[in-house]
């Protein structure tokens, strides 16, 4: 049985937090909200608990976990050295949605790092996550609280849809704020490499460190640096159940392509979902499609709704999802485009 505990996202009840902390200490699996998405936490140094976590998610053992801590003082134990760049970035961006990869110490089990010589660490800023980490005072390994390859959960209901009965507790603190997973920056090599774009953008990072390297876009396992540096950056990772066609190109042609794609899929007898900002969605109004709108086009709003919308379309049992790419390729827009690309089964370039 999974216990669902409603919790005030701003002022979490200490009794509920203490119960969740006890559960973690005892090797239990606790899902909790962070500012990015919901995480599924376990005591990072309890190897059996970590194995149970992989089993609950159906996650392959070669995909390493992020270790969450309450404060910088817990970092020294986990890494062999803290690079200067890390200190600078931590003082600016922690607590917050930035994960840093550093050379790991012996204190981090292989089960957590998937045998890598590095460990990914972050200090989340969500009050529930912070309260829990402060109460438990242990390093907590926490991947997103979804079944492997499903979109990350941005609400407790998403966690339950995937993991009800497989985990001990869900702290339901309402919607996660950002809606996309943290930025992952690898500091174990020079220059630092952005392994996963997120709310802390490359532009933000460049204000504090001179160079940030990007792995080639769309690298797939075994063919690109990104895949080798971070096994979790599998091409197909943030996927809905339905196949997803992503249209890329100039805005006006995108809408035409979307409308044409929708008509063709409907003509094939398919149940069609459309994932679009309200402007792009105008192209398919009047057609019998299931529409999941991403808001007016404001990037923050799109990010916050993206996974919710993908899951909503799956619940509607659509056969195919048609989506338009975003124009913005900087800041959080880069992260949204990255997730859309990874969710896509097919990318159609239009001009
Ligand atoms: O926002 C987030 O980061 C959320 C919340 C719960 O904190 N967590 C999250 O965890 O997204 P997960 O497991 O879904 O994604 C972790 C990513 C994966 O792409 C993984 O490959 C990468 O971080 N990663 C973890 N350890 C790594 C390491 N040592 N080197 C390179 N990449 C690593
Ligand atoms: Mg994940």
88, 206 Cβ separation under 8 angstroms = no
Q: Taking the mean position of all CA atoms in its chain, how far away is CA 238?
A: 8
What residue owns the CA closest to ligand 1's atom 33? 230
Q: Which ligand is nearest to the CA of 142?
A: 1
Backbone angles phi, psi at 68, to 5 degrees: -105, 135
pLDDT of 328: 79
Note the residue count of the chain: 351
pLDDT of 199: 96
Q: Which atom of ligand 1 is nearest to the CA of 231?
A: 21
pLDDT of 220: 37
pLDDT of 236: 56
> From the CA of 144, how far away is ligand 2's center (Å)?
4
Q: Which atom of ligand 1 is nearest to the CA of 66?
A: 25
pLDDT of 231: 56
Q: Which atom of ligand 1 is nearest to the CA of 97?
A: 1
Block means of pLDDT (10 residues each) for the chain, 351 residues, are 97 98 98 98 98 97 96 97 96 98 98 97 98 98 96 98 98 98 96 95 93 67 42 61 94 93 98 96 97 95 97 96 90 95 94 85
**Residue keyed to tokens 């690309």:** 341
> From the CA of 233, how far away is ligand 1's center (Å)?
9
Q: Which ligand is nearest to the CA of 147?
A: 2
| C-alpha to C-alpha distance for 264 and 152, rounded to whole angstroms | 30
Helix (H) or strand (E) holding 340: helix 332-343
| C-alpha to C-alpha distance for 228 and 123, rounded to whole angstroms | 25
Helix (H, G, I), strand (E, B) or coil at 35: coil
Q: Which ligand is nearest to the CA of 102?
A: 1
What residue owns the CA closest to ligand 1's atom 6? 39
Sheet-wide strand order for 346-350: 290-293, 272-276, 320-324, 243-249, 346-350
160's CB contacts (< 8 A; 6+ apart) are 2, 4, 170
| Closest CA relative to residue 70, chosen from 105, 24, 29 | 24
Token representation of residue 168: 């001990």
> From the CA of 231, how far away is ligand 1's center (Å)?
9
| C-alpha to C-alpha distance for 94 and 88, rounded to whole angstroms | 10
What residue owns the CA closest to ligand 1's atom 5? 39
Ligand 1 site, CB within 6 A: 34, 36-37, 39, 63-66, 97, 99, 101, 113, 116, 118-120, 122, 124, 142-144, 181-182, 184, 186, 195-196, 229-233
> From the CA of 154, how far away is ligand 2's center (Å)?
12
Q: Could you count the other beta carbons within 10 Å of the beta carbon of residue 39?
A: 30
What residue owns the CA closest to ligand 1's atom 12? 143
**Residue keyed to tokens 């994960």:** 99
| C-alpha to C-alpha distance for 224 and 216, rounded to whole angstroms | 7
> From the CA of 4, how far away is ligand 1's center (Å)?
25
What residue owns the CA closest to ligand 1's atom 31? 230
| C-alpha to C-alpha distance for 8 and 209, rounded to whole angstroms | 37
Alpha-carbon torsion, ordered 184, 225, 223, 275, to 10 deg: 30
> From the CA of 180, how far away is ligand 2's center (Å)?
10
Q: Which ligand is nearest to the CA of 187?
A: 1
130, 122 Cβ separation under 8 angstroms = no
Token representation of residue 276: 């679009």
Backbone angles phi, psi at 274, to 5 degrees: -125, 130
Q: Which atom of ligand 1 is nearest to the CA of 119?
A: 29
Determine the residue of 105, 232, 238 to mutate for testing ligand 1's pocket, defined as the one with the most ligand atoms within 8 A of the Cβ atom. Answer: 232
Q: Which domains does the chain have, with CATH numbers?
A: 3-205 (3.90.870.10), 243-350 (3.40.50.11030)
Helix (H, G, I), strand (E, B) or coil at 179: coil
β-pair partners for 110: none
| C-alpha to C-alpha distance for 149 and 147, rounded to whole angstroms | 6
What residue owns the CA closest to ligand 1's atom 32? 230
Q: Which atom of ligand 1 is nearest to the CA of 120?
A: 26
């Amino acid at each position: 049985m999974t216990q669902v505990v409603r919790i005030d996202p701003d002022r979490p009840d200490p009794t509920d937090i203490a119960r969740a902390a006890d559960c973690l200490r005892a090797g239990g699996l606790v899902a909790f909200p962070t500012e990015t998405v919901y995480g599924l936490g376990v005591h990072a140094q309890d190897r059996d608990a970590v194995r149970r976590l992989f089993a609950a998610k159906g996650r392959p053992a070669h995909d390493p976990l992020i270790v969450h801590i309450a404060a910088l003082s817990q970092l020294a134990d986990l890494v062999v050295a803290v690079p200067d760049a890390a200190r600078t970035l931590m003082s600016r961006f922690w607590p917050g949605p930035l994960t840093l990869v550093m050379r790991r110490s012996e204190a981090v089990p292989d089960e957590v790092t998937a045998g890598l010589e590095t460990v990914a660490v972050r200090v989340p800023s969500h009050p529930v996550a912070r309260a829990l980490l402060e109460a438990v005072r242990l390093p907590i390994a926490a991947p997103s609280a979804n079944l492997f390859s499903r979109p990350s959960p941005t609400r407790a209901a998403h966690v339950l849809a995937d993991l009800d009965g497989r985990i001990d507790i869900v702290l339901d603190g309402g919607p996660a704020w950002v809606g996309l997973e943290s930025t992952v920056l690898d500091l174990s090599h020079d220059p630092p490499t952005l392994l996963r774009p997120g709310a802390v953008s490359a532009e933000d990072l460049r204000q504090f460190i001179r160079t940030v390297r990007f792995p080639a876009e769309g690298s797939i396992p075994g063919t690109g640096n990104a895949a080798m540096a971070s096994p979790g950056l599998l091409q197909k990772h943030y996927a809905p159940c339905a196949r997803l066609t992503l249209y890329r190109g100039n805005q006006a042609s995108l809408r035409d392509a979307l409308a044409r794609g929708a008509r063709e899929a409907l003509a094939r007898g398919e149940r069609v979902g459309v994932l679009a900002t309200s402007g792009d969605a105008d192209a398919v109004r009047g057609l019998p499609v299931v529409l999941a709108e991403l808001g007016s086009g404001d990037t923050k709003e799109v990010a916050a709704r993206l996974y919710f919308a993908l899951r909503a379309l799956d619940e509607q049992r659509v056969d195919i999802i048609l989506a338009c790419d975003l124009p913005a390729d900087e800041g959080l827009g880069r992260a949204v485009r990255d997730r859309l690309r990874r969710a896509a089964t097919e990318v159609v370039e239009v001009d």
